[in-house]
A and B are shown apart, each in its own frame.
Chain A
Amino acid sequence: MPGGAGREAERVARASYGRLLALLAAGTGDLAAAEDALADAFRIALETWPRRGLPDNPAAWLLVVARRRREQQRRRMATRLRAADDLQMFAALGEWEPDQDSRLPDRRLELLFACAHPAIHPTARTPLMLQTVLGLDAASIAAAFLVAPAAMGQRLVRAKAKIKAAGIPFRIPDPPELPARLDAVLDAIYASYGTGWDALGSATGDGLAQEALWLARLTADLLPGEPEAGGLLSLLLHCEARRAARRSPDGAFVPLSEQDMERWDRTMIAEAEGRLETAGRLGRVGRFQLEAALQSVHAQRLMTGRTDWHALATLYEALARSSPTVGVLVGQAAVAGEVEGPPAGLRLLDALPVERCAAYQPFWAVRADLLRRAGRTSDAAEAYRRATGLSADESVRRFLLERLHSLEQPLP
């Protein structure tokens, strides 16, 4: 049954790719060689399993074969003994028995820390994680990040060469440096979710969001003492819980304030709340916990039927103090527009540096909404046009154009 073995290989690949790669690369720091060896092992599995049957422990089988392949590669480079090597390996495989090694050690967290090491360029960290821990191919990663495939391939190759050449260690940093290093890991996971979020509706986008959620869960579970890891997982769960509600049944964009709460995933929201509570008990507040708390306030609407804008304003204030990114400041302006009225929100937007907002879509979308509510119709129209022109999503464009047209032709 080649099909069954193929499916099994795929399932094992999905479940254990990162675990196997982390084990293979941890000793040598050579990710590229480990990837090659693992790819070979999967190929051999597809050839062997249908004939010999599934090994009792497929993951351990793959690890042994990949290690042998890499050993061979090393020797081949020295002596070029090709045919003899293959024969030897297949002979050895006959002797393979599932053994005590059924629970493979997990070194994925060490791999994540290597991928997000400060010596790796920030734009390479997330792609590197997706490729090494999840086994995504470079072309899908390139598409998700809107980068040319050749450029993404190069970026990944360079990053792996750097890990090997610079001797970047596969280890969990010691407590004094752990929080800062963990931030880089969480940032990279967050970036991958954000990319999936932007590409909503596309297969790549949904897939990437799922992968990010998986990485966040892995990190939070492996580091139960780090509240920010739990904070990130809570944040992503909250966002993910609303995925279905972000589009109407006919595919139109639905803003958060108008979403049908029946379409929110209550199980996911409950898990998000639980994770945030657990993180909060550790007593160290951080950016991701604050962002999760913002989403938690929105989720309260399920219970109370209203949005507590004052709570949001307080959280944004804290967030703007600790991490004043353009995204946070624009969000703060939107909330100020609700609490204190549109002119207050517009004052906050006007204070932002022009060059960082010229091509930032959320800035123009929030600005357009505030201007409309302030009655500045022609300024609002201009802002709606900018926001529309900066959107890369057709349903968002359509939503903004409808708002624009309703401005131009006010209802009687």
Chain B
Amino acid sequence: MLIFLEDGEHFARRRGPQAREHMGAWMAYVSAIQQAGVAVSGAGLEPPETGTVVRLRNDAREVQDGPYAEAKEQLGGFFVIDVPDLDAALEWAARAPCASYGAVEVRPVMARPDQAPA
């Protein structure tokens, strides 16, 4: 899974004067990864302040407005991709626009316990 991490400034660029260039780069990336036939699923996420956090503690519900954490970089979207190895995944990670201004974390998707490891 490719996990896209962005800061507040770049979440804000999705709207406003820089939206055309910002979103243009993302749309191109999404198109390229889909056309290459490696994307299994994926989505972009609304900014962290639109999130809501739920916890159950001592039989009581806690519900909080986002963001969940006060980290500088927050989850902005993800892709699950099907590629032969980590090197190929890193190549797709480097092409993500946010690799230039935020970060991309690459993590293996956990194998289901009932599935034999490949």
Query: Which residues on A are within 8 Å of B, measured CB to CB?
Result: 146-148, 151, 358-359, 384-392, 394, 397-398, 400-401, 404-405
Docked-complex contact B37 and A385, CB < 8 angstroms:
no
| Contact present for B32 and A392 (CB under 8 Å) | no
CB <8 Å contact, B28 and A147:
no
| Contact residues of A: prevailing secondary structure | helix
Return the chain B residue nearest A359 by Cβ: B36
Residue of A nearest to B38 (CB): A359
The reply to whether B90 and A389 contact each other, CB–CB distance below 8 Å, is no
- Measured between beta carbons, the chain B residues less than 8 angstroms from A400 are 28
Interface string of B47-81 (1 = CB under 8 A from A): 00000000000000000000000000000000000
B104 → chain A closest CB, angstroms: 11
Which of B32, B86, B100 meets A386, CB within 8 Å? B32
Residue B29, interface by CB 8 Å: yes
Known: A146-B94, A151-B86, A389-B95. A358 touches B35 (CB 8 A): yes
Q: Please list 12 pairs of residues, one from A and one from B, whose beta carbons are closer than 8 Å in the complex, sorted by A's number.
A: A147-B87, A148-B86, A358-B35, A359-B36, A359-B91, A385-B31, A386-B35, A388-B29, A389-B28, A389-B32, A389-B95, A394-B97
Any A CB within 8 A of the CB of B40 = no
Given contacts A359-B36, A394-B100, A388 and B91 within 8 Å (CB-CB): no
B90: chain A residues within 8 A (beta carbon): 146-148
Q: A148-B90, A358-B36 are in contact. Are A389 and B20 (CB under 8 A)?
A: no
B19 proximal to A (CB < 8 A): no
- Residue with the highest number of chain B CB atoms closer than 10 Å, among A148, A358, A389, A390: A389
- Chain A residues with CB under 8 A of B32: 359, 385-386, 388-390
Partner-A contacts on B (CB < 8 A): 20-21, 24-25, 27-33, 35-37, 86-87, 90-91, 94-95, 97, 99-101
**Given known A148-B90, A359-B36, contact A398–B21 (CB-CB < 8 A):** yes
Q: Is the CB of B94 within 8 A of A401?
A: no
Q: Are B97 and A146 in contact (CB under 8 A)?
A: no
Lowest 10 CB-CB distances: which A-B pairs, in order?
A389-B32, A388-B28, A389-B28, A394-B100, A392-B94, A389-B29, A385-B28, A359-B36, A401-B24, A392-B95
Chain A residues contacting B24 (CB-CB under 8 Å) are 388, 401, 404-405
Contact B95 A390 (CB under 8 A): yes
Dominant secondary structure of chain B at its interface with chain A: helix
CB-nearest residue of chain B to A391: B95
Closest A residue to B88 by CB, please name it. A359
Which single member of A151, A387, A389 contacts B33 (CB below 8 Å)? A389
Contact of B99 among A147, A148, A392 (CB under 8 A): A392
Expressed in whole angstroms, the minimum distance between the Cβ of B56 and any Cβ of chain A is 37
Which residues from A are CB-within-8-Å of B31? 385-386, 389
B101 contacts which chain A residues (CB < 8 A)? 394
Our pick among B37, B91, B95 for the contact of A358 (Cβ within 8 Å) is B37
With a cutoff of 8 Å between Cβ atoms, the chain A residues found around residue B21 in the complex are 398, 401
Contact B25 A388 (CB under 8 A): yes
Are A397 and B28 closer than 8 Å at their CB atoms? Answer: yes
What residues on B are CB-neighbors of A384 within 8 Å?
A: 28
Give Cα A98 to B105, complex, Å: 53
Q: Which residues of B contact A388 (CB under 8 A)?
A: 24-25, 28-29, 32
Q: Are A386 and B28 in contact (CB under 8 A)?
A: yes
Considering only CB atoms, which chain A residue lies closest to B33 in the complex?
A389
| Residues on A with beta carbons closer than 8 Å to the beta carbon of B27 | 385
Residues of chain A with a CB closer than 8 A to B94's CB: 146, 392
A124 CB to nearest B CB, Å:
13
Contact check: which of B20, B87, B100 meets A146 at CB < 8 Å? B87
Known interface pairs A358-B37, A388-B32; 10 further A-B residue pairs with C-beta atoms within 8 A, sorted by A's residue number:
A146-B94, A358-B36, A388-B29, A389-B33, A390-B32, A392-B95, A397-B28, A398-B25, A401-B24, A405-B20
Q: How far is the CA of A194 from the CA of B57 in the complex (A)?
A: 55
Q: Whole-angstrom distance from the CB of B30 to the nearest CB of chain A?
A: 7
Q: State whether A389 and B99 are in contact (beta carbons under 8 Å apart), knowing that A358-B35, A358-B37, A405-B24 are contacts in the complex.
A: no
Expressed in whole angstroms, the minimum distance between the Cβ of A18 and any Cβ of chain B is: 27
Chain A's closest residue to B22 (CB) is: A401
Give the complex CA separation of A358 and B39 in angstroms.
13
The distance from the CB of A375 to the nearest CB of chain B, in whole angstroms, is 22
Q: List B contacts of A389 (CB < 8 A).
A: 28-33, 95
* Cα separation A391 to B97 with both chains bound (whole Å): 9
Q: What is the minimal beta-carbon distance from B96 to any residue of chain A, in angstroms?
A: 9
Which chain B residue lies CB-closest to A147?
Answer: B87
Closest CB-CB distance, B67 to chain A, in whole Å? Answer: 26
